[in-house]
Chains A and B, each alone.
Chain A
Amino acid sequence: MRIVNKKEKNQKDNWRLLGLEVNNASMNMAIDEAIMHCYAKGEVQNTIRFYRWHPSAVSIGYFQSVEEEVNIDFCRKMQIDIIRRITGGGAVYHDYNGEITYSLIVDEKNQIIPADILKSYEVICKGLVAGLRDLGVEAKFSPINDIVIKGKKISGNAQTRRYGVLLQHGTVLIDSNISKMFNVLRISNEKISDKIIKNIEDRVTNLRRVLHRKIEFEEVFFALKSGFEKSLQISLKEDDLTDNERQLAFQLEKKFLDKSWIFRR
């Protein structure tokens, strides 16, 4: 048996932190993918990134159809971008004024990441849960990939694994305009019927609603950062994208802007 001394046991892994950036939808998705590629080549370390979307945007899951999920005319009118993710899962409205997104990029064989995908959602989401609890809300993980407060969704998460790299990104609703969200998204009747909730808006909440106060993006960012650090036993050190990541992101952005990608399914 290998003896682990106290110092080694208490040593936290250093991960890279990419601070709260604002980009448009295509660049946000291109950066996440670029980090994955550069990580696979061994150029960058484990990373957690926080970002916002300007203009506001709707992202749909890899397997979804824009026509089925998004009110395209409403988005055009309101100048809301539409983007397809490389991850599965559902459609998300990324409100510039009310939502924060994170992404986490790590070796899928990292010791803290369970090989079982369902379990890995829970392990990673625990960081968000810890951060939200620090803000004073009773958040809990709700399988498969959500975080809820008193049964209402506040965070959705999606994960892909490619080239031996795990990317999980997800949203935390801060002060999203929930009525607007449901004008952007088309919700299927089947999905509503399963939840036995007549008013679909009751399924979702945000931090402002549960805390009964306005909360700044920076406050949420620091709470989530610290939640990940505690939960994953890591130390996050602020840094920037590398030149290679930025260059690759500019190339990959073309794919995310391409109609054949957006309307692929």
Chain B
Amino acid sequence: MHEAELKVIGGKLIRISFLLEDNKISNMKITGDFFLYPEEGIEELERRLNGIEAKPKKIQEIIIGFFNEGFVIIGAKPNDFTKAILLAKNTRSS
């Protein structure tokens, strides 16, 4: 399991955990004390990240595409999610 937590300066906490097999993401879980509107969007974001290759460009593309659809995030910026996922990718699997 790859895990990381990112405290956004002046903002909220993002926790990430996922499995990585053949550099492909599965079991993506994004938790934290941020605000996302509408809230149910978080499951959709996780779904879109599952199955993709854990490459920075691909992750960023998914995140940007998601937030461009009108989801509003408070307490973090879209790029903080990319950062947190990459931070988790670079942690040793537990």
To the question of whether A and B form a pair in one complex, the answer is yes
A residues neighboring B (CB under 8 Å): 61-65, 68, 86-91, 117-118, 144-145, 158-162, 188, 190-191, 193-194, 265
24 contacts between A and B (CB under 8 A): A62-B39, A63-B30, A63-B31, A63-B39, A64-B31, A64-B32, A64-B33, A65-B29, A65-B31, A68-B15, A88-B33, A88-B74, A90-B33, A91-B33, A117-B72, A144-B12, A144-B35, A144-B74, A158-B35, A160-B37, A162-B38, A190-B7, A194-B7, A265-B42
Complex contact A161–B37 (CB within 8 A): yes
The total of chain B residues at the interface (CB under 8 A) is 23
Task: Give B36-94 interface residues, CB cut-off 8 Å to A.
Answer: 36-39, 42, 72, 74-75
CB-CB under 8 A for A117 and B74, given A89-B33, A194-B9: yes
In the complex, chain B residues whose CB is within 8 Å of the CB of A188: 5, 7, 13, 15
The binding surface of chain B is classed by DSSP as strand
* Alpha-carbon distance between A87 and B37 when the two chains are bound, in angstroms: 10
B residues neighboring A (CB under 8 Å): 5-7, 9, 11-13, 15, 29-39, 42, 72, 74-75
* Alpha-carbon distance between A188 and B3 when the two chains are bound, in angstroms: 13
In the complex, chain B residues whose CB is within 8 Å of the CB of A265: 29, 31, 42
* Alpha-carbon distance between A161 and B33 when the two chains are bound, in angstroms: 17
In the complex, chain B residues whose CB is within 8 Å of the CB of A89: 33, 35
* Alpha-carbon distance between A65 and B15 when the two chains are bound, in angstroms: 10
The 5 closest A-B pairs by CB, nearest first: A90-B33, A88-B35, A190-B7, A194-B7, A65-B31
* Alpha-carbon distance between A162 and B12 when the two chains are bound, in angstroms: 22
In the complex, chain B residues whose CB is within 8 Å of the CB of A88: 33-36, 39, 74
Tell me the minimal C-beta distance from B50 to chain A in angstroms.
15
Complex contact A190–B13 (CB within 8 A): yes
